């Protein structure tokens, strides 16, 4: 599946469109929560978030995403990531390696556009418990870089039900409501738990940038997928 254009010029043009200046007031941004669907569906929503770090001096990024293709416990990483904009440098780590994860890869062109020489620590999260989430948050909390947490929201619900479920998830995220984290309806369930522990530790607060679902984009409202972006 092609999640974004494989032609370099076409991809660059699309990224320019997505990364137009956000109308949201500038503030210090430590991290983002962004969707990872195909760019036709969620690229504009992710782009509004990435546009907030457009003027930052980005040297490193930690991307934390769920696993869609492998079942495991704990953390894995990637050996290699290449897009039409080139190969990305991966920060050396000792985690087990997977071949591919689109929830990671779909963030890379945005970061390459902002800084072609950026270094990435890609973390793919398998099944974990609350204690492990807290430990992972502690482990990554002192990295000097931008944090990117990747998740779509509810999947394949009727439009009105999806909006209802996604509003609940957004409220839990914005309030860092860990006691209700099991009510989150999102494929990035575990990465979002790590995000909440990280934000609590660093005293950061997620703020919603934009929410839509696929029904808003392609007008088929029978079974939709939710997308939201946040900054913190």
Q: What is the CATH number of the domain that holds 34?
A: 3.40.830.10
Does the structure show a pLDDT above 80 at 21? Answer: no
207 vs 25, 136, 170, 221, 232, CA distance in Å? Answer: 12, 22, 9, 26, 6
Mean pLDDT of 31-55: 93
Contacts of 179 (CB under 8 A, 6+ apart): none
Dump strand ranges (E) for the chain: 31-34, 60-66, 75-78, 82-83, 86-87, 89-90, 97-98, 119-125, 146-150, 155-157, 207-213, 224-231
Confidence of residue 131 (pLDDT cuts 50, 70, 90): very high
Q: Tell me if 32 is assigned to some domain.
A: yes
Q: Tell me if 21 is assigned to some domain.
A: no
Confidence of residue 56 (pLDDT cuts 50, 70, 90): low
Q: Tell me if 9 is assigned to some domain.
A: no
Mean residue pLDDT of the chain comes to 94
Mean pLDDT of 189-216: 96
Identify the pLDDT of residue 62: 98
Q: Tell me if 125 is assigned to some domain.
A: yes
Identify the pLDDT of residue 19: 93
Residue with more model confidence, 22 or 154: 154
φ/ψ (deg, to 5) at 38: -55, 150
Q: Tell me if 211 is assigned to some domain.
A: yes
Which tokens go with 217? 């984009």
53-57, 79-83, 220-224: range with lowest mean pLDDT: 53-57
Q: Tell me if 186 is assigned to some domain.
A: yes
Identify the pLDDT of residue 96: 97
Q: Tell me if 4 is assigned to some domain.
A: no
Mean pLDDT of 130-145: 96
Does the structure show a pLDDT above 80 at 206? Answer: yes
Mean pLDDT of 62-75: 96
Residue with more model confidence, 220 or 190: 190
Q: Tell me if 228 is assigned to some domain.
A: no
Mean pLDDT of 7-12: 96
133 vs 75, 147, 177, 189, 192, CA distance in Å? Answer: 10, 15, 14, 11, 9
Does the structure show a pLDDT above 80 at 22? Answer: no
Does the structure show a pLDDT above 60 at 185? Answer: yes
pTM for the model stands at 0.94
Identify the pLDDT of residue 92: 94
Query: Residue 70's domain spans which residues?
Result: 27-155+167-222
Please tell me the total count of domains within the chain: 1
Residue with more model confidence, 54 or 79: 79
One DSSP character per residue, 66-132 reads E-SS---BSEEEES--EETTEEPEEPP--S-EES--HHHHTTHHHHHHH-TT-EEEEEEE-B--HHH
């Amino acid at each position: 599946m092609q999640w974004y254009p494989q032609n370099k010029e076409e991809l660059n043009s699309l990224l320019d469109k997505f990364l137009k200046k956000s109308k949201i007031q500038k503030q210090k941004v430590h991290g983002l929560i962004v969707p990872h669907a195909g760019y036709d569906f969620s690229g504009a929503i992710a782009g509004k978030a990435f546009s907030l770090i457009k003027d930052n001096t980005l040297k490193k990024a930690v991307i934390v995403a769920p696993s869609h293709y492998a079942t495991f416990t704990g953390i894995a990483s990637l050996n290699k990531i290449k897009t039409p904009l080139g190969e990305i440098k991966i920060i050396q780590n000792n985690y087990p390696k997977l071949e591919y994860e689109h929830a990671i890869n779909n963030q890379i062109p945005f970061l390459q556009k902002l800084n072609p020489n950026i270094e990435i620590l890609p973390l793919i999260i398998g099944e974990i418990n609350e204690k492990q989430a807290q430990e992972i948050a502690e482990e990554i909390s002192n990295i000097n870089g931008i944090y990117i947490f990747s998740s779509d929201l509810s999947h394949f619900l009727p439009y009105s039900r999806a909006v209802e479920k996604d509003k609940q998830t957004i409220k839990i995220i914005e309030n860092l409501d860990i006691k209700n984290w099991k009510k989150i309806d999102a494929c990035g369930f575990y990465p979002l738990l790590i995000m909440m522990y990280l934000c609590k530790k660093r005293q950061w607060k997620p703020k919603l940038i934009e929410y839509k679902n696929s029904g808003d984009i392609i007008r088929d409202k029978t079974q939709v997928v939710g997308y939201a972006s946040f900054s913190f």
